[in-house]
Amino acid sequence: MLSLLLDYVKLYSVTPQHKCTYPKHYWTQVGATRLSAEICGYSSYTNVQCEVLARNDAGDGDVIESNAIRTSCTASTAPRSIDFDSQSTEVDEGRIRLRYIIRWQAPTTVNCGSISHYEMRFPASTSPIITTTSTVTTVYTDGNELVTFWVRAVNNAGLTSEPEIKTITTDIIAPQLAPSSLTLQTTNNVDCILVSWQPPEYLNGPLTSYEVEVCGVTGLEVVQCQVLAKNSGGSSDIATMEILPKCAAPKLPDDLTQFIVAETYTLENSTEERIRLKLEIPTEYLSINCNSLDTLEYRLTPDSAYTANGEYIYNVSVETQLNINVRAVNNGGWESDVAVAVRTDKLIPTLSQCDEPPTVDNAELIGDSDVRLLGLVVTHSCKKGFVKTQGESLICQLVDDAAAWVGEETVCDQSESSGIQGNLVYIVGLGVPLALALLALLIMACTCTCKVSRRKKKKTPTPQLHQMLSSTWVTSPRPSQLTRSLITQLCQGSSR
């Protein structure tokens, strides 16, 4: 709206007229006594030029006034067409978040010289105002959130438009950060622990499940628990915590009969046969479930006293049914008491020890042959000059309820590299004086034998030589056919 003030000399019987030329107006007549006129219909921030002249009955006078003016600024129209574009995920504020590029269009009508900037609010219409001169901005948000983008234009006169608003629900993404407040607690049940937690800080969508992994729930072993949250967008980070549970009762082997050693003996001054037995459980076969084992003992009847593990109980009757109680106590005070029923006549053929390992020719036993418990492995090593052609090791195992050595027995055969050199080395190895004596004896024997051969045309040595050589072979620590062959070769060489 334009208010036009017509300021000129007042004339009687004169009818003033005016016209404004933008966009185009025709002359408009006003009363002769008026000095101003209000003209409406012009746009904001528009240049308008006005002219005023006087008219009477005789006709139009000259233009009294000609002037131009610009109409006032008003607020622009609102920005248009907000669009959430180019969704992606990026790390922001230490976690995975959704990244949106938001675009919009400038107002259709500025109603002033220009748009100086835009004012935005995000993620709610009540959020603090952020200014920008662009029609594009980047925002970050969590998943499955109802967010609002609010924007309005500000022109160069400082006048603000109505806001343009768009609201969306963001996509679901995996929960961010691990479940919080993870706690582990021991319970009265030593085989159990109580695990508790709180949801992750940023769910990013309805949770579908939790996954809990617990490892190693046994007495006095560190238990590690892991918890993660899941939704349709994926899995959260893992929360991990460790705890040392309370001690638990020791765990004894399932089959205790393999550790019962039974032997028969005869009472002094009697022919009556009795049995002595002992329970001998190696500690490696126990799960102590605490720091240490305080007690491991056994007894044959509920009324008898306990005997320590590894010690004998004597004077046990033959063909008697026994209910052996085995008791284990650890330093935490936890106790296990297990009963095993056996007959003494069944124990004898089921001894827990093997016989002496078999003897192998030309070989030596490696290991302690006095300890022959089940599971023991023994090996034979061939002596010098012999090689192993069969077998590796033997193991003590139960075979048809009896302890026996299982495996292929070792065989040591003479090495192909041993021969005359080996026998010569052996002779020298007897000692320098004895070796020289033997060599002199050989030479004398050959000389005598060869002389007899020339006289009697026989190749056999004299009876005395036979006796001497036989005595030498018998008393020699290791006589061999090759030694005899060597003597024959030396003699034949001398006869030639």
Q: Could you read off the pLDDT of 253-292 as tens digits, one per residue?
A: 988 988 988 877 776 777 676 788 899 999 889 888 888 8
For residues 451 and 443, give the distance between their C-alpha atoms in angstroms, rounded to a whole number: 12
Going across the sheet that includes 260-266, the strands are 260-266, 273-279, 312-316
Band of residue 372 on the pLDDT scale cut at 50, 70, 90: low
Query: 490: Cβ–Cβ under 8 A, 6 or more apart, which residues?
Result: 442, 443, 446
Q: Choose the final residue of a domain: 35, 70, 105.
A: 70
Q: Is residue 332 part of a domain?
A: yes
Q: What is the DSSP string of 344-407?
A: HHHHGGG-SB--PPPP-TTEEEES-TT--BTT-EEEEEEPTTEEEEE---EEEEEETTEEEEES
Q: Is residue 343 part of a domain?
A: yes
User: What does the pLDDT read at residue 440?
Assistant: 61
Query: 167: Cβ–Cβ under 8 A, 6 or more apart, which residues?
Result: 146, 147, 148, 149
Q: Could you read off the pLDDT of 319-345 as tens digits, one per residue?
A: 778 889 999 999 878 899 999 888 776
Q: Is residue 249 part of a domain?
A: no
For residues 337 and 296, give the distance between their C-alpha atoms in angstroms, rounded to a whole number: 10
**For residue 371, what are the domain limits?**
363-414
Residue 458 has pLDDT above 70, yes or no: no
Q: Is residue 174 part of a domain?
A: no
CATH of the domain at 63: 2.60.40
Contact 247, 219 (CB under 8 A): yes
Q: Is 54 found in the same domain as 35?
A: yes
CATH of the domain at 192: 2.60.40.10
User: What does the pLDDT read at residue 290?
Assistant: 81
Q: Is 457 found in the same domain as 474?
A: yes
User: What does the pLDDT read at residue 496?
Assistant: 42
Q: Is residue 161 part of a domain?
A: yes
User: What does the pLDDT read at residue 479?
Assistant: 44
Q: Choose the final residue of a domain: 307, 323, 350.
A: 350
pTM here is: 0.46
Question: Quick one: average pLDDT of 229-240?
Answer: 95
Q: Is residue 175 part of a domain?
A: no
Band of residue 155 on the pLDDT scale cut at 50, 70, 90: very high
Q: Is residue 377 part of a domain?
A: yes
Q: Is 158 found in the same domain as 89?
A: yes
Q: Is 473 found in the same domain as 403?
A: no
Q: Is residue 358 part of a domain?
A: no
Question: Quick one: average pLDDT of 46-51?
Answer: 78
Higher pLDDT: 265 or 175? It is 175
Residue 475 has pLDDT above 60, yes or no: no
For residues 364 and 378, give the distance between their C-alpha atoms in angstroms, rounded to a whole number: 11
Q: Is 312 found in the same domain as 271?
A: yes
* Dihedral (Cα; 165, 169, 170, 171), 10-degree rounding: -150
CATH of the domain at 376: 2.10.70
Q: Is 261 found in the same domain as 345?
A: yes
Q: Is 210 found in the same domain as 144?
A: no
Q: Is 437 found in the same domain as 408?
A: no
Q: Is 108 found in the same domain as 186?
A: no
The total domain count for the chain is 6
Q: Is 162 found in the same domain as 98?
A: yes
Question: Quick one: average pLDDT of 94-110?
Answer: 95
User: What does the pLDDT read at residue 347?
Assistant: 63
Closest CA to 114 of 70, 158, 68: 158
Round the average pLDDT of the chain to a whole number and report it. Answer: 77
Band of residue 487 on the pLDDT scale cut at 50, 70, 90: very low
Question: Quick one: average pLDDT of 90-98?
Answer: 94
Higher pLDDT: 211 or 418? It is 211
User: What does the pLDDT read at residue 437?
Assistant: 58
Band of residue 164 on the pLDDT scale cut at 50, 70, 90: very high
